[in-house]
């Protein structure tokens, strides 16, 4: 998986691209949370749930169904998020779904259960350009974590920044 830090690149880029008032500060925060929330499934290891189990790492919480669930919850909280239901739904959906999609670009693990509950099949993209992040904090903040972050700069942060800036510029041009 990319590090938790790099999963936030997508909602940040989307927030830049779409801008206020469509993306309020509260919605941006909800998108950031939705982009990292799937990795709470690492708690499953402590509960004795195996990696390959549907409730294990990169299982249910990394699925598109989970992203839709979070998006529905965000739409229900749209008033609190100070945006429309549609904006809340789609922003959180994109933010949450990006997590599993980014994990599918890594070179480690068993893949992502993107189609759960329809299938427990784990998927990867054919390109494995992001180093898989170590699951231990000690290794994540050591040499192995630095190697991962270098690939994330190239394959997550740079494309997110470029896409966000390009869409921001297009939005600004159309506003003139």
Contacts of 94 (CB under 8 A, 6+ apart): 10, 11, 14, 31
Hey, what long-range contacts does 98-101 have (CB within 8 A, 24 or more apart)? Answer: 98/7, 98/10, 98/11, 98/35, 99/7, 99/34, 99/35, 99/36, 99/37, 99/38, 99/39, 99/62, 99/67, 100/38, 100/58, 100/62, 100/63, 100/64, 100/67
Two tokens, residue 107: 């070179």
CA distance 65 to 14: 21
- Residue 68 confidence (pLDDT): 98
Do 130 and 155 contact (CB within 8 A), yes or no?
Answer: yes
112-139 pLDDT, tens per residue? 999 999 999 999 999 999 988 876 667 7
Q: Give the chain's residues under pLDDT 50.
A: none
CA distance 155 to 78: 32
CA distance 73 to 54: 22
- Residue 138 confidence (pLDDT): 73
Domain ranges within the chain, ordered by starting residue: 4-175
Place of tokens 């270098």: 150
Do 88 and 77 contact (CB within 8 A), yes or no?
Answer: yes
Do 105 and 129 contact (CB within 8 A), yes or no?
Answer: yes
Do 82 and 29 contact (CB within 8 A), yes or no?
Answer: no
- Residue 143 confidence (pLDDT): 81
- Peptide bond preceding 142 in cis form (omega within 30 of 0): no
Specify the pTM: 0.93
- Residue 1 confidence (pLDDT): 59
- Residue 4 confidence (pLDDT): 81
């Amino acid at each position: 998986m990319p590090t938790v830090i790099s999963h936030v690149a997508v909602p940040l880029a989307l927030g830049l691209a779409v801008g206020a008032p469509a993306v309020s500060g509260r919605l941006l925060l909800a998108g950031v949370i939705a982009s990292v929330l799937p990795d709470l499934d690492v708690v499953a290891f402590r509960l004795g749930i195996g990696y390959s189990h549907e409730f294990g790492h990169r299982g249910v919480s990394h699925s598109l169904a989970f992203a839709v669930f979070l998006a529905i919850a965000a739409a229900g909280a749209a008033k609190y998020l100070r945006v429309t239901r549609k904006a809340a739904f789609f922003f959180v959906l994109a933010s949450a779904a990006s997590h599993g999609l980014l994990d599918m670009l890594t070179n480690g693990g068993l893949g992502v259960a993107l189609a759960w509950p329809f299938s427990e099949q784990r998927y990867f993209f054919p390109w494995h350009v992001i180093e898989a992040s170590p699951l231990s904090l000690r290794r994540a903040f050591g040499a192995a974590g630095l190697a991962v972050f270098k690939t994330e700069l190239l394959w997550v942060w740079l494309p997110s920044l470029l896409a966000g800036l390009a869409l921001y510029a297009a939005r600004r041009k159309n506003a003139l």
